[in-house]
Structure 1
Amino acid sequence: MARSTGTTIKLRGEAKTLAALQLIGLNQLLDIPGSNANVQPAKAPTVGVLPLTPIATEDQQFQAVDAICAIALAAVDNASAFIPALEWLANEILGNILTHAASETPGVVCAQYRPKQQRFDIGICDMGRGLLGSLQPAFPDVRSYGQAIDKAIERGVTRDPAIGQGNGMAGSYEIVRLNGGTYQIWTGDVVYELNKSKRRPGFQSMPAVFGTGVMFSLDTSKPVDLANTWIASATGAECLFLNTQTDAASDTGLNVAAECLHTGGRAPAKLLRRKIQSLLPAMDGEPLILDFSCVKSAASSFLDELLGRLADEDPRGQAVFDGPVRIQGMNPTVQAMANVVVAQRLRGSIDRSPDAED
């Protein structure tokens, strides 16, 4: 943005801070030289560091999340238990940049594992419209940046139900809360922090900035099982809509993993859903099999875009999964997550119906 107006960018400040910024790739990202002679050349990033990485496409999101998980896999002792919630969180928040920020300037992500502290830190920010600009059209009573943050971390709050479900911020907040980690979110002129060392979450004023940023610091010794959160709740009415089948391989089947570049965002799911919708009229009563057996994990946004909107847009609603479309091969966590988003999507459809009670 600065370069587009002819502005020259320079960095100055404490040598230690400038060196740390160089270590995570700020100078390289901005293509500017070091501005302080006292700053030593930064060492090459180690296996525990993801340098500042631009996020402007689904492929960049996929590559960044893959790199974050690779760091955890290589460095964290109980990686298999720690990675699922980490992957979900990273996918959902990075997906927000592509879905909601509305900025021509790419967002960025960086991450670092700190073994002595047993901490995994992720920072994500964008230069978009900010939470207030995103939410206020749908929630006119939200008039300040602090109110926008409060609203954003509520489950089910989104600027447009046709675009998202509003689970990313709320779900990431839930993961950090259960982990006992630190969560910061900033937008406009305010920053909000959840920190177990502080008795209460709190807001602080800060110089105004564009867009929205979040920072997560997770305790790697306390992995969060998604099944213990509402993200993948396996109990209650939310699990009435989707039951996986065990049908044999079929010529009318679609392998979800083979059809999609990744299962971490909405774009691949949207393409597959449209393919399914185009195939269904020609199936002549034979079920279309969706094979999830090669899908080890998925973002809630992916499952909503594929299955939630498929049920929402089909006149048969949830019954589309009772015959026309059959699900097979889902692991228990993905199945529970799918049940949650399908139920939420269909409830939202009922709430928006002209015949719904006020």
Structure 2
Amino acid sequence: MSSVYRKENCIVVKGDLYDFHRLLSQIHQAIEDAEYRDVVLDMEECTSAFPGPMLSLCAQVLAYRKAGIDFTLKAPKDMKLFNLFKNANWNYLLDPKNFKKSQFRGHSRIPATQYQTPSEQNEAVNKIVNVILGAIPDMQRKDFAAFEWAINEITDNVLVHSESSIGGLVQVSTFKRNSKQVQFVVADAGMGIPKSLRLGRPELTSDTDALDQAIREGVTRDTKVGQGNGLFGSYQICSLCEGHFRIDAGNAKLVFHNKKGLSISNERIPYGGTMVEATIDFTQQGLLEKALNFKGKEHSPVDFVEVEYERNDDGSIHFIVEQEAQSFGSRVSGKPVRTKLSNLEKMVSGSQIVVDLKNIPIMSSSFADEAFGKLFMQTGALTFMNKFTFINVMPTVQQLIDKAIAQRMAVGVVD
């Protein structure tokens, strides 16, 4: 059960927060009708919250704050939910006076990030795909490139089309345990897809018709600023891999579910902006690349691997370990290093991978085992020795890596 109601300038949320439209309506009434200039978001009794609704709420609060409205957050009492609010950066975005920016550095989530310029958008996307490369094992390069293309297109749409006063918010919110699913959410406080499309296509009189057209190939408000393939390609990626796709904008909601199919419905309470939520499943390799087929031709975008790693004249991959891990003292920090090296080995089969251990005077035995001992077993001795070259290795670190490989060969187990 859930409930949302207003007491003067205080908006109270109890139970699960899934449908954010009523919450935004109560905020609108407090500010526009009752003319409060300070609003309290009381979420102490909130029991669960989801990335799409929360990012939509954060986007609207940022826009109101920019217009001079003050917000105070009463964070959830439930400690697990409070930690989610903190780690996902929701606390900070809703109430920066009383909460600090998220310091979450794990490899299972990218906190909600605001971007307002092309350079900030590029930085956010690069951070996300870098984490994905170290989090999802056995990825095909074209699948990885398709994911990067989708999140780049959706975040870029905000800057090109939305006219959002606060730019956009993007968050990679879930890597489900023992699966290869990734969910990302992008939200803004702009004009919304229906209004944007009608600027160039006035015949789209209803918001549901506008969302129906938005996921079709080549549909855009102005072909001079875009080809209209961002939402189409992203929807195709999610549907082909049996994932999930959702758009909330204006008075309409579009949802694709792998079991229920596609539905487009009218929303009584409008959302003043656009929220796109996409869940992509990497389990079936090779499916994602089929989604990027425009006008009968396969699209092969430049990807993060090419830009970030394939830049040496001799064709080798330069992997600087100190830039790839938060620390060198735990097994947890070693796992994304191993996953990334394993993915790179498969993605760039003809290239030598130079593992540069400069400025690393020591590492724990558990890090050495997780990153390099297990990688040795995973790739096989011949591939490991032929494909990987280690440079700038201090003697103590060399001993730890050699010992980790020897012990791992004796155990012979890779999770």
> Residue type matched to 2:195 in 1?
G
Inter-partner Cα distance in structure 2 for 1:103 and 1:190:
19
Percent identity over the alignment is 27
1:226/1:232 contact within 8 Å kept: no
Match of 1:33 among 88, 98, 104: 98
Match of 2:84 in 1: 20
1:35-83 deviation per Cα after TM superposition (whole angstroms, max 9, x unaligned) = xxxxxx9883411211111121111111111111112111101234431
1:232–1:224 CA distance, 2 compared to 1 (3 A): farther
Deviation at 1:19, TM superposition (A): 3.9
User: Is the 1:53–1:109 contact (alpha carbons within 8 Å) kept by the matching residues of 2?
Assistant: yes
> 1:127 — aligned with what?
189
Normalising by the residue count of structure 1, what TM-score does the alignment of the two structures yield?
0.59
Q: For 1:275-286, what aligned pairs fall within 5 Å after superposition?
A: none
Q: 3-state SS of the aligned residue for 1:92?
A: helix
> C-alpha distance in 2, partners of 1:73/1:138?
38
Indicate which of 103, 124, 128 corresponds to 2:164: 103
Match for 2:186: what amino acid? I
> Aligned partner of 1:59: which letter?
S
Q: Is 1:171 aligned to 2:233, yes or no?
A: yes
Tell me how far 1:223 sits from its aligned partner.
Answer: 4.1
CA separation of 1:225 and 1:116: change in aligned 2, threshold 3 A? closer
Indicate the residue corresponding to 1:67 in structure 2: 127
- Structure 2 counterpart of 1:118: 180
* Contact 2:214 2:220 (C-alpha < 8 Å) held by counterparts: yes
SS of the equivalent of 1:183 reads strand
Would the aligned equivalents of 2:208 and 2:264 in 1 still touch at CA under 8 Å? no
Alignment of 1:247-266 (within 5 A): none
Deviation at 1:106, TM superposition (A): 1.8
More relative contact order, 1 or 2 (CA 8 Å, 6+ apart)? 1
Residues 245 and 278, structure 2, Cα contact 8 Å, conserved in 1: yes
SS in 2 for 1:89: helix
Letter in 2 for 1:72: I
SS in 2 for 1:128: coil
Structure 2: unaligned runs, 5 residues or longer: 1-62, 309-313, 318-347, 349-415
Compared with structure 1, are the counterparts of its residues 162 and 79 closer, same or farther at alpha carbon in structure 2 (3 Å cutoff)?
Answer: same
- CA apart distance, 1:209: 2.0
Specify the alignment match of 1:84 in structure 2: 145
Q: 2:216 is paired with a residue of what secondary structure?
A: coil
Conserved? CA contact 2:150–2:234, under 8 Å = yes
Q: How do 1:1-358 and structure 2 match up within 5 A?
A: 1-12=63-74, 15=78, 17-30=81-94, 31-33=96-98, 44-81=104-141, 82-112=143-173, 113-203=175-265, 205=267, 207-225=269-287, 227-231=289-293
Check 1:96–1:199 CA distance in 2 against 1; reply closer, same or farther (3 A cut). closer
CA distance in structure 2 between the partners assigned to 1:83 and 1:129 by the alignment: 31
In the aligned structure 1, how far is the partner of 2:207 from the partner of 2:82? Answer: 29
Looking at structure 2, the residues matched to 152 and 217 of structure 1 have their Cα atoms a distance apart, in angstroms, of 18
SS in 1 for 2:113: strand
Quote how far apart the aligned CAs of 1:233 are: 7.4
